[in-house]
Amino acid sequence: MLDVIVWIFIIIFSSAFLGSLIGLGGGFLMVPLLSVLLGLPIHEAIGLSLISIVGVSTSASLNYVVEGNVDFKLGSILEVASVLGAIAGANIALYTPSKMLFIVFGFTLVYIGLVMFRGGSKEKIERLPRIGRLKMLNGFVASFIAGLLSGLLGIGGGILKVPIMTLYLDVPMKIAIGTSEYMIAITSFTGSFIYLNAGKINIQYLGSAFLASVLGAQLGSRVSLRTEAYILRKIFAIVMMLFAFIMVLKGVSM
Amino acid sequence: MNSISNRRMVRYMLLISLVISSIVAVLVSLQDVLPLKYIFKVVYLIYLPSLTLLIIAFHNQFRRRDILGVSAIIILIVLIVFNILLGGVV
């Protein structure tokens, strides 16, 4: 038991640290590492990842909120769709066989890897634009899908939410990242509550998971100021393709 | 989030909630070692940071008199409360 707790600490600390280096939660690293390397059941890996993301995103939000880089109005409106998506996603996941989840996660990782490899979108204007109703509707639907994937697969969904805001809604990158962190904290809370309540999370792992996520995110966000995120994103993209292949293979062979 | 004292308060609120949640998570994990079985439900305190963020957001939108923002946060709170009351399955 103790060695599993130590391994969970190491995995979540490094995922939160590495994720924060490139402005993400790290759920896309936690679930494959916990389920493939440590051999935890995938439902438990997803639940633990979501709880850890609560720690990571709140820890990261701390800086964004204080610096005024969070648009609470836009985030709260889009978050209504994300929360509904997360509730649906987590409930679907509870009734979905592990085999299927491995395969879906694998293909989602391919998408995330491709987005990362292409790099972030260019910096847009530094003021908030007026958002039309049609654009808002698009953003609302896309946020629902992001929440659904978050509840279903245990990822924070920042990799989806940031492009939604920058590409669909023309929100400046800095504010999009800050707002998505605020949204992720609420989405992952809603999703993980369902896993926790369904008894899918071993609460003996909670301490090491939560502590590791808070510490990893704080360290990662401090180091990120002094590192070149561009190269890291490319390396992560390649690593993720490898994980995607392993997860699909594991799902198919189950 | 305009004045310095507000920023400081927000920072402290989030930091304190993160510390409380970390302590609660560690204590709950040690349930075999510590006699915590009677306060088992304390486990849900790990969501304190998310709720703190929601309170900060509500305060921010309420102060700006932004009806749409306040309504969105109230809907969020209602959804979360329903999710909790119905045991995680809406």
pLDDT digits (tens, 9 = 90+) for A132-169: 777 788 888 989 998 998 888 888 888 788 878 877 78
Reading the block at residue A165, the tokens are 């805001």
A17 touches chain B (CB under 8 A): no
Among chain A residues, CA nearest to B52: A58
For the cut 90, the answer to whether the pLDDT of residue A122 exceeds it is: no
Q: What is the mean pLDDT of residues B37-55?
A: 82
**What is the rounded CA–CA span in Å between residue A7 and residue A37?**
10
**What is the rounded CA–CA span in Å between residue A151 and residue A187?**
8
A210 touches chain B (CB under 8 A): yes
CA distance B31 to chain A (A): 8
Q: Find tokens 């890897």 and name the residue.
A: A113
Q: pLDDT per residue over A45-93, tens digit each?
A: 999 999 999 989 888 888 788 888 889 999 999 999 999 999 999 999 9
- Judged by CB atoms closer than 8 Å, whether chains meet at A65 and B53 is answered as yes
Say if residues A24 and A156 touch (Cβ distance below 8 Å).
yes
Contacts of A55 in chain B (CB under 8 A): 18, 21-22, 49
Say if residues B29 and A207 touch (Cβ distance below 8 Å).
yes
- Judged by CB atoms closer than 8 Å, whether chains meet at B60 and A207 is answered as no
Contacts of A54 in chain B (CB under 8 A): 46-47, 49-50
Contacts of A75 in chain B (CB under 8 A): 57
Structure ipTM over 0.85, yes or no: yes
- Judged by CB atoms closer than 8 Å, whether chains meet at A210 and B90 is answered as no
A4-18, A155-169, A189-203: which range is least confident on average? A155-169
So what's the pLDDT on residue A125?
Answer: 47
- Judged by CB atoms closer than 8 Å, whether chains meet at A207 and B30 is answered as yes
Q: H or E stretch including B2?
A: none
Q: What is the mean pLDDT of residues B72-83?
A: 91
Say if residues B63 and B70 touch (Cβ distance below 8 Å).
no
Q: pLDDT per residue over A207-243, tens digit each?
A: 899 999 999 988 887 777 666 667 777 777 787 788 8
Among chain A residues, CA nearest to B77: A80
Of the two residues A194 and A174, the one the predictor is more confident about is A194
**What is the rounded CA–CA span in Å between residue A200 and residue A87?**
15
Q: Find tokens 């800086």 and name the residue.
A: A63
Contacts of B7 in chain A (CB under 8 A): 66
Reading the block at residue A151, the tokens are 């509840």
Give the 3-state secondary structure of residue B38. helix
Q: What SS3 string covers chain A?
A: CHHHHHHHHHHHHHHHHHHHHCCCCCHHHHHHHHHHHCCCCHHHHHHHHHHHHHHHHHHHHHHHHHCCCCCHHHHHHHHHHHHHHHHHHHHHHHCCCHHHHHHHHHHHHHHHHHHHHHCCCCCCCCCCCCCCHHHHHHHHHHHHHHHHHHHHHCCCCHHHHHHHHHHHCCCCHHHHHHHHHHHHHHHHHHHHHHHHHCCCCCHHHHHHHHHHHHHHHHHHHHHHCCCCHHHHHHHHHHHHHHHHHHHHHHHHHC
Of A83, A193, A206, the CB nearest to B25: A206
Mean pLDDT, all residues of chain A:
83
